[in-house]
Structure 1
Amino acid sequence: DAGVEEGWEGEEGEAAPDAGEAAAAAGSKAAGKHMVSTNWVLHDEPFDAVEEAAVSVLHHLLMGTSASPLHHALSSSGLGQRVIGGGLSSELRQMTFGAGLKGVRAEDADKVEGLVLDTLRALADGGFDATHVEASLNTLEFQLREFAGSSGSPKGLMLMLSILPHWLYGRDPVDALRYEAAFAELRRRVEAGERVFEGLVRRLLLDNQHRVTVHHVPDPALAAGEEAAELERLRGVEAQLTPEELAGIAEVADELKKRQQTPDPPEALACIPRLSVADMNKEARWIDRDERVRDVAGLAGHATILRHDQPTSRIAYLSFGFGVETAGVAASAIPLLPVFARCLSALGTAEYDEVAMSRRVGAHTGGVSASFSAGPTLQRGASRSHLFVSGKAVDHKLPELGDIMRDVVLHANLDQRHRVAQFVREEVAALESALLQSGHGVVASMMAAPYSKSAWVSERAGGGVSYLHAMRELLKRVETDWESVLADFTALRESILLSPSSVLCSVTADDRTLTAADGVIDDILGSLPSAKAAVAGGWDGWEASAGARGGAGVGIAVPTQVNYVGALLPAFGGDGAGLTPGHATVVSSIISMAYLWEHVRVQGGAYGGFCDLDPITGLFTLLSYRDPRLPETLAVFDGVVDFLRSGQVTQDDIDKAIISTCGSLDAPMTAREKGATSLSRYMTGIERGMLQKRRDEILSTSVADVAKLADALEAARADGTFAAVASEGAFGKVEKATPGRFVVQKPL
């Protein structure tokens, strides 16, 4: 609608750089941790296609990787814990750009803006390295070619989201999808010697007066003060109301509650178009793979290669998995693994420093990374743990991808104390932020750890409070005893990568590109040093370290006005018992869609209430998200069995849940996601017949199966647990009403 564009008016008057302070809620341990960011509005009139492409490349040049100059200047400055701001934001009519730091000391707060501006001036004057520009151009073009290939979202949804910034503000939405001509023109200007990006730095940032620096000052008393002020305001309002007005408010509240508890009439529900169970695909979706086993001279065992023939636009997705527990890694070293993995791909090598390696990766590939992964298997009491080195490239760049991945595995330069310290600070900052913004994930991780070996590993390696404590201790060691940390990292590389007992490789590509990838895989496997035999039972004593089951709940006190509440029941046999029955998954979907939606979301006021039944471990988890209540939500969780036995669940409810469950199982996947899913199934031990059996159970779920899940949950009640992330005040109220219900920790 052209009227949208024509009806918008910008602010009039001369702009000038500004600065402001705002208080932010913080725990007592965060009292000295400020946040500072410098931000710009980039334009008034819309950019043309070439300018949009140039600004996107500029964002990647400045902030796209940890080695990008502005990101690197901030992260390595020692002024803060974590880079914030995000660089370019293009969702609004006027794009913005921001950069700053979180976890800044009060005395350093005024230095952040100066660092940002000084870094930009140096780039505008000295210019960007040609290899850096080429790497960023290649990276952006690769992402546009791949599009939703690695986003984890349906391609149609990503198409819609990509065109909305144009469409919402009266521009041609299809223009947002046309990039080849703009990038070709951009490359022509760069190759002609035009200082495109240096000019943008000066025009859009340094000379742009539409700039504000925001300083968030931590205030441990803010949350309690705001809550007290709100209560005082409400008391003042209440004092001015007459008895009749108070009675009227109570009557309206009762009427609202009644309407919330009254089911929609059948005639209203009948108006909603819906599928039937008969419309569902009867066959479980299986992803074909070609499994090959190769004896490799350097390996004590062998290499297993999983080849997935998928349409990938000549892009190959390649992953090498090295066993961790089977390599004899001590349980005490588990928390080191995520940081160690990041160091492998982020610190460069003796030949290529961090910046040169980042540009090398950007110039030849779509990305190279290393990560630690742990998960359950269908073998009782077992888990799978791998360190993966992964990368992607178009077919003609596969030799360069292989060279880079080999360097990451064999030659990463781990002896960089300053950068490792920064990585650990960023981990700490991210974990502290997760407690406030996604506490339900922390709750789920803590609850599951005593019941599943893989969950215990995950809680110690990124998912829970144990990992937060471990990262704080690691930071102390990096700062005071670096040699011991370097020795630990060196030992991890020696045991996991330089002497692997076996290697698992997964490659996803179209048929022609798979053939090209075979040679790269052979070269990497052939370069591995001599190996050792697998070590059995490295973490067999996990139960003793995982903590007691049942008893008082774990409480995590943080400065927040909302809660994250959870309960867990070991409903089925646990690791090694086979996939949980399909009917139980359907019934658990009804619990989420009906019972928890009504009692936690609608009546309780939480942003979300949901449950999950893990098909491998058999753990049944109930969670609430941004929940104003705590004991009331636990009471709702306690009522699940009674709900299932109340007779409220009808076959129509079950049919809707069957359709929803099938929809989740049959969600669209990109080629890359299909390869990753097949790899996960292989490591877990899931076979085609198991999936079909479970599919049959899902499609045949009946009212009788509701009682089966109720019985399983009732039998597990005594062995269950609960936990919450909430404010100290919320836990204090629970303690007064039910002493000893929570054992409270204060990690912030």
Structure 2
Amino acid sequence: MQLLLCQPDPHKASRAEKAEKEILGKVKASLTDKDLTGLVRATQELRLKQATPDPPEAMRSVPSLSLQDIPREPTTVPKEVGYINGVKVLQHDLFTNDVLYTDIVFDMSSLKQELLPLVPLFCFALQTMKTKDTRFLGLHHLVLRKTGGISIAPMIQSTEDPCCHIIVRGKAMARRAEDLFDLINHLLQEVQFTDHRRLKQLVSNAIVEYQQSVEGQNIVAVRMEAKLNVFGWICEQFIGISNLEFLQALEKKVDQDWEKISSSLEEIRKSLFTRKRCIINMTAEGKNLTKSEQFVGKFLDLLPGNSPCATTTWNARLPCVNEAIIIPTPVNHVGKSVNIHNTGYRVNGRTYVISTFLAGARTWLPDRTLISGAVCASYRFDNYSGACSFLRSGDTNLLKTLDRYDNTGDFLRRLEMDNDTLKKVIIQTLKHDSCKYPDPRAKGYNSLMQYLTGATEEERKRRHEEILSTSLKDFKEFADAFDAVKDKGWLLRWEHQKMFMRH
């Protein structure tokens, strides 16, 4: 047996930085004063060119859409709602070239609140642990051989009451529909949580994957919203810092309390995988949908009828305090989040246009950041919860940045926007709202999401009309609502200890 021990090199980054400085120093030493003056001048000219907008006559020469070119009603996806064995089934008759796409949705409302942080690991374990008769690799190869893939993951949608589900997504050629549903049943009901060593490995892998893929802005945004509403808190348990803390604590408990962890995973399975409140979503040609119904019925017959647990209500948030997260990172992040709903303001289609404008605008940042590229800024708005989040990376002027966040209302109130600019923002909003899902699988999935969140066709038409009728007056109304809550938000900083001490 060979043991390979891998250790990080703590001095690698400093050596690379030193080598880069030496190379740049040699290049600079080889330049004459005239060369250096030319580089400075070229840099200044480039920055000026980047900061100077194109003249109106040049912009008018570029072909563009007008609002008259936009359909007056949103795009729709054919949908037929029916029942198989008492379970609701959504069918979308679309051309898929004989491929069957399915999404199986299991409601999570019967799950105990204390088990929520375990859900991502539970979904991962279903796809990476063995069954009684099949080892993991054998099952994995079987899925790849007979289908186009099967995934299991938690799905959260922001609504007035958080919409939280486990969603199983799969695809296969229509002639393999029976194999697809048989394999899904195999994963959901026959995977065993008895391999202590394998589960410990999964926990360790999940920690490493989190640490390698973490994105500071997303973590900051999720954690801030977790202070504002239950939806944000659930997201924090699934993908935020709380999830990492849970996994690190779980790694220590795997050896000490293995039976309890295994029992909790089984409890999640029994609570969720039942016919009660299950929804099947299928996208294919009509003939293939009809042929697949018998296999859906067989799959549903194998599921328990009801959950042994009663419906529960989750009511948790992170403490409403400002936070600083100290982490060894070269890039810091600063965010502030407020809840616009606290003013009584209610979201409509025009709010989507304002959000699109703010997400693309950089006017609320210091002018120098428009050119340097050293700062990345973003704005996020949750249309259901009312959470407005401002985020900025690479910040060196904390107080000035916070002033810019808080002065968003003044910026919108003083905003002057010609009809052409407003038209572009409206079209960009409609692109995100209506044309985001061009392929048949995504169309069927988008229709499912609309169904789960209660977005009716009448509501979508109303929102579409409101987007098209947005005016500058709507920006001013949003500014008033923002000003009413700007002092009631929460600040979060994600940065290196040295940067934290400077601020």
TM-score range, shorter chain: 0.7 to 0.9
Question: C-alpha offsets along residues 683-707 of structure 1, whole Å, 9 cap, x if unaligned?
Answer: 1111111111111111111111111
Alignment of 1:468-547 (within 5 A): 468-497=244-273, 499=274, 501-532=276-307, 535-539=310-314, 541-543=315-317, 546-547=318-319
Pair 1:290–1:516, CA change in 2 (3 A): same
Which one-letter code corresponds to 2:75 in the other structure? R
2:95 to 311, 317, 330: 311
1:568 maps to 337
Output the TM-score relative to the length of structure 1.
0.60
| Matched-pair contact (CA < 8 Å) for 1:581–1:694 | yes
Deviation at 1:529, TM superposition (A): 2.5
Alignment of 1:77-476 (within 5 A): 108-109=5-6, 218-220=8-10, 263-294=53-84, 296=85, 302-324=86-108, 326-327=109-110, 329-377=111-159, 380=160, 382-435=161-214, 438-461=215-238, 463-476=239-252
| Matched-pair contact (CA < 8 Å) for 1:390–1:405 | no
Q: Distance in 2 between matches of 1:596 and 1:676?
A: 36
Which one-letter code corresponds to 2:62 in the other structure? I
| Matched-pair contact (CA < 8 Å) for 2:98–2:174 | yes
Question: C-alpha offsets along residues 649-684 of structure 1, whole Å, 9 cap, x if unaligned?
Answer: 333321110121122222352111111111111111
Which one-letter code corresponds to 1:308 in the other structure? H
Deviation at 1:317, TM superposition (A): 1.4
Question: C-alpha offsets along residues 313-360 of structure 1, whole Å, 9 cap, x if unaligned?
Answer: 111112222222x22x22121111011112123213212221221122
| Matched-pair contact (CA < 8 Å) for 1:567–1:722 | yes
Deviation at 1:263, TM superposition (A): 4.3
Output the TM-score relative to the length of structure 2.
0.88
Deviation at 1:258, TM superposition (A): 6.7
SS in 1 for 2:294: helix
| Matched-pair contact (CA < 8 Å) for 1:600–1:609 | no
Q: Distance in 2 between matches of 1:630 and 1:337?
A: 39
Alignment of 1:2-13 (within 5 A): none
Moved more, 471-480 or 602-611: 602-611
Q: Distance in 2 between matches of 1:503 and 1:601?
A: 49
SS in 2 for 1:620: strand
| Matched-pair contact (CA < 8 Å) for 1:335–1:470 | yes
Alignment of 1:573-588 (within 5 A): 580-588=347-355
| Matched-pair contact (CA < 8 Å) for 1:320–1:389 | yes
1:605 maps to 373
Deviation at 1:464, TM superposition (A): 0.8
Deviation at 1:234, TM superposition (A): 11
1:28 maps to none
Q: Distance in 1 between matches of 2:453 and 2:368?
A: 34
Moved more, 259-268 or 606-615: 259-268
Question: C-alpha offsets along residues 34-55 of structure 1, whole Å, 9 cap, x if unaligned?
Answer: xxxxxxxxxxxxxxxxxxxxxx
Q: Distance in 2 between matches of 1:285 and 1:607?
A: 37
The higher-RCO structure (CA 8 Å, 6+ apart) is 2
SS in 2 for 1:218: coil
| Matched-pair contact (CA < 8 Å) for 2:123–2:153 | yes
1:144 maps to none
Residue 657 in structure 1 maps to residue 431 in structure 2? no
Question: C-alpha offsets along residues 260-304 of structure 1, whole Å, 9 cap, x if unaligned?
Answer: 66544323333333222222222112223111245x4xxxxx521
RMSD over aligned Cα atoms = 3.6
Deviation at 1:480, TM superposition (A): 3.1
Q: Distance in 2 between matches of 1:614 and 1:676?
A: 20
Q: Where do 5+ consecutive residues of structure 1 fail to align?
A: 1-76, 80-106, 110-216, 239-244, 297-301, 735-748
| Matched-pair contact (CA < 8 Å) for 1:365–1:397 | yes
Q: Distance in 1 between matches of 2:333 and 2:21?
A: 22
Question: C-alpha offsets along residues 574-615 of structure 1, whole Å, 9 cap, x if unaligned?
Answer: 9x997x222222122222333359748524524642322222
Q: Distance in 1 between matches of 2:50 and 2:172?
A: 53
Q: Distance in 1 between matches of 2:263 and 2:58?
A: 67
Q: Distance in 2 between matches of 1:78 and 1:582?
A: 62
Segments of 4+ in structure 1 off by > 3 A? 219-238, 245-265, 596-601, 632-636
1:638 maps to 406
| Matched-pair contact (CA < 8 Å) for 1:604–1:629 | no
Q: Distance in 1 between matches of 2:374 and 2:480?
A: 28
1:42 maps to none
Deviation at 1:246, TM superposition (A): 12
Pair 1:253–1:405, CA change in 2 (3 A): closer
Q: Which has the larger radius of gyration?
A: 1
SS in 2 for 1:572: helix
| Matched-pair contact (CA < 8 Å) for 2:362–2:370 | no
Deviation at 1:646, TM superposition (A): 2.0
Question: C-alpha offsets along residues 492-519 of structure 1, whole Å, 9 cap, x if unaligned?
Answer: 112222x553311111111111012111
Question: C-alpha offsets along residues 63-89 of structure 1, whole Å, 9 cap, x if unaligned?
Answer: xxxxxxxxxxxxxx998xxxxxxxxxx
1:618 maps to 386
2:473 to 704, 710, 715: 704
Alignment of 1:713-728 (within 5 A): 713-728=482-497
Deviation at 1:444, TM superposition (A): 1.1
| Matched-pair contact (CA < 8 Å) for 1:389–1:409 | no
Q: Distance in 2 between matches of 1:730 and 1:370?
A: 40
SS in 1 for 2:304: coil
Question: C-alpha offsets along residues 203-233 of structure 1, whole Å, 9 cap, x if unaligned?
Answer: xxxxxxxxxxxxxx63446667878999999
Q: Distance in 1 between matches of 2:18 and 2:481?
A: 44
Deviation at 1:725, TM superposition (A): 2.6
Q: Distance in 2 between matches of 1:709 and 1:264?
A: 29
Pair 1:411–1:596, CA change in 2 (3 A): farther
| Matched-pair contact (CA < 8 Å) for 2:375–2:395 | no
| Matched-pair contact (CA < 8 Å) for 2:87–2:276 | no
Which one-letter code corresponds to 1:583 in the other structure? R
1:679 to 445, 448, 464: 448
Q: Distance in 1 between matches of 2:486 and 2:21?
A: 37
| Percent of residue pairs bearing the same amino acid type | 27
SS in 2 for 1:542: coil
Q: Distance in 1 between matches of 2:17 and 2:61?
A: 43
Question: C-alpha offsets along residues 469-489 of structure 1, whole Å, 9 cap, x if unaligned?
Answer: 001111112233221211111
| Matched-pair contact (CA < 8 Å) for 2:105–2:280 | yes
Q: Distance in 2 between matches of 1:624 and 1:684?
A: 30
Q: Distance in 1 between matches of 2:306 and 2:378?
A: 46
Which one-letter code corresponds to 1:654 in the other structure? L
